[in-house]
Amino acid sequence: MAKIIAIANQKGGTGKTTTSTCLAGALQLLGKKVLLVDCDAQCNATDTYGAQTEDVCTLFDVMTRQGTVEEGIQHCEAGDILPSDSALKDIDEQLVRDMGKNFRLREALESVSGQYDYIVLDTPPQLGLALVNALIAANSIIVPITADRYALAGLSQLSQTIGDVRRYFNPTLKIEGLLLNQYKSRENLSKEVVEQLPVIAQSMGTTLLDVKIRPSMGVRKAQAERHSLFSGDTAKSTSAEDFKALAQKIVEGGYKMTKKKTENVVRPIAHWERANYSYTDLDNGGMQVNAVGIGCSNCMAVFRKSSMWAVNFCPNCGARMEAVEE
């Protein structure tokens, strides 16, 4: 049976599609049979693979039971892919009254799971049925992040979503780790953010992976030319080396904590304060609900009050909390 890995972060621009496509390619280099599933209506992974979207079976058709995974899989030069198309943006509306809507992807993938070693899911940044289906279908998650404060904001939202999915649908879902993407070691901001990440990872019950993905022109060139990062002159890029190291770690099943000890990280001092937020109620057809939670005075990240009441540090920025403001 295939191991199903979701690449997820509820923030755009963190490199989810790049991570998905390059990880799939790197696993293939190791002799593994891999299926990439594009769960994003933006179809970037589909475009990168050069897959067809017109008059073919796509993920939308599979989830609405108008087609099967076997009918949808395309065998492209870069590898096997179940493509997406723009119709996927309407999946929440299409399945709003369906009692089993959250399990459509997991059930569909069961028919091909025995044919692959790994199934990689490229997920959308926004919370909705496509993301929820991916997290329910997955065995584990890799969270790509960039070393900037805005990218870290998506981690708090993703952490809450994962908590809900575990509670109601997939209790064994594991976070493999946080993956630093587009990492530039010479930038001061990158170093500052990286120092906070072990604390944030610990609060999410996971680790900061010891593989960091360095930026390179090879990724952009491979995507523009619609070929694998691991073919031609792009195969020698720093990003290709890093993704091969990540794939090797996954195959070996060996992840390491970063050597930096979290207790030595100097954290800012902040406090909890009242804050408004909205969320998608999965039990009521994806209805948007406004609520009052608590926010970190340092990074302004907002959390559900019930889940953060007794936490003495912010999962988003790592700040130590002096008190909870009623």
**Cα–Cα separations (whole angstroms), residue 195 to 99, 201, 262:** 44, 11, 8
Question: Checking phi first, is residue 65 left (phi over 0); if not, alpha (psi -120 to 50) or beta?
Answer: left
pLDDT tens digit sequence for 205-231? 899 998 999 888 988 888 888 888 998
Residue carrying the six token digits 């001092």: 269
pLDDT tens digit sequence for 81-139? 999 999 999 999 999 999 899 999 999 999 999 999 999 999 999 999 999 999 999 99
* 124: Cβ contacts below 8 Å, ≥ 6 apart: 39, 40, 41, 42, 130, 131
Tell me the DSSP string of 151-169.
HHHHHHHHHHHHHHHHHHT
Task: State the pLDDT confidence band at 158, using cuts at 50, 70 and 90.
Answer: confident
Q: Domains in the chain and their CATH numbers?
A: 3-252 (3.40.50.300), 267-324 (no CATH)
pLDDT tens digit sequence for 227-267? 889 988 899 999 999 999 999 999 997 554 444 444 444 56
Task: State the pLDDT confidence band at 279, using cuts at 50, 70 and 90.
Answer: low
Taking the model in full, what pTM does it have? Answer: 0.79
Bridge pairing between strands 74-76 and 79-82: antiparallel
Give the chain's count of helices (H) and strands (E). Answer: 12, 12
